[in-house]
Copies of this chain bind each other. A is one copy, B any other.
Amino acid sequence: MSTSKPRHYILTVSCPDAVGLVAAVSGLIATWNGWLTEVANHGDPVTGRFFMRNEIEASSLDFGIEEFRTRFAALAERHQMEFKVRDSSVLPRVMILVSKLDHCLVDLLHRWRTGELAFDLRGVISNHDDLRSFVEWHHVPYHLIPVPAEAREGAFARIGEVLDADPVDLVILARYMQILPPDLCRRYEGRIINIHHSFLPSFAGGRPYQQAYDRGVKLIGATSHFVTADLDQGPIIEQDVVRVDHADSVDDMIRLGRDVEKTVLARAVRYFLEDRVIIHENKTVVFS
C-alpha cells in the first residue's frame, strides 16, 4: 500500500457473492472515467460473501462524494451491498484511551504527528494524570477520567459524554487497563480497537505474560482486535510474535512484548484508517 497518495475515494463493499460483481463495481466506476489506483477483493467460498475495496483518484471524477454515494446506491441495492465511501482528505476522527503504560501512546502520537498515520486526533482520555504533559506537548486535549472501583459506572458515563460531545470514528485502547462496559462496546461496535498483550486465543484475560511464562512458550505475541462485549473475543485484525527463551523473565517478556504491541496496534490502526478492514461475523478481511 502506498503512502502520500493524491486525494482519493475509498469504496468498500460487502455483499452476497455472485457472478459479475467485480465487473459491476469497476464497470460503473469506469463509466465515470474513475481512475482505480488500487483494487482488492475476496470471495469467501465458506460464507458465500464477497468483499471489495477500491481506491479511486478523486481528481478523475467530476463530482463529489455525495454524488458518488447517490450514483452507487442503485447498484448497491441490486446486490444487497453494504458499502462505504470515504474521501481520503476527510480524516477519521480518533480518541485514544490509555492508562499509565505509554509505549503504544508514544508510538501512535509519533506516527500521527509525522503524518505517517493520517487521522484527526480529538483527544486522549486516561484514568491517570501521568501522561498529561507529554500529550499536551502535542497540543492534544487530555481528559482525566479516573475509574475508581466503587464508581466505575459514573466514570464510563463520563467517557460516553466526552465521546458524545465530539463523536469519533475510532476509539483506540492503547493499553487502557479497564474493561469497557458492554453497552459502550455495543454503541461503538466495529469502532473500538484494542491491543491485547498475548497471541490470542492463548492467554486471554489478565497477566498474559505471566501466563506465558508459566506455560513455557517459546514465542510471545500481541493481538489487535475489535472490542466486543465478550472480553478478548472480538474479531482479530493483526497479530505478531517475538521469540523468547528460558532465560527471559516475566519482566523481559513485558519488555520484548512492548515492541510487538506497539507495532501490531499501529498496523491495525493503519488498516482501519485506510478502510482496509471489513468485519464479517467474528472475523476480518484485511486488504493489507
Contacts and interface: CB of A to CB of B under 8 A. Distances in A.
Interface string A16-42: 000110111011011001111111111
A82 interface: no
A33 B45 CA distance: 18
Contact of A216 (B34, B221, B236, B288): B236
A22 B33 contact: no
A23 B20 contact: no
A264 to B, nearest CB: 9
Interface stretch (A164-172, A183-191, A249-257): A249-257
A155 interface: no
A87 interface: no
A143 B20 CA distance: 48
A240 B42 CA distance: 27
A24 to B, nearest CB: 7
A247 B20 CA distance: 19
A146 interface: no
A8 to B, nearest CB: 12
In this complex, the member of A37, A110, A238 whose beta carbon has the largest number of chain B beta carbons within 10 angstroms is A110
Contact of A217 (B33, B44, B239): B239
A183 B35 CA distance: 42
A29 B23 contact: yes
Most B Cβ at <10 Å: residue of A26, A114, A116 = A26
Nearest to A277: B246
A24 B19 contact: no
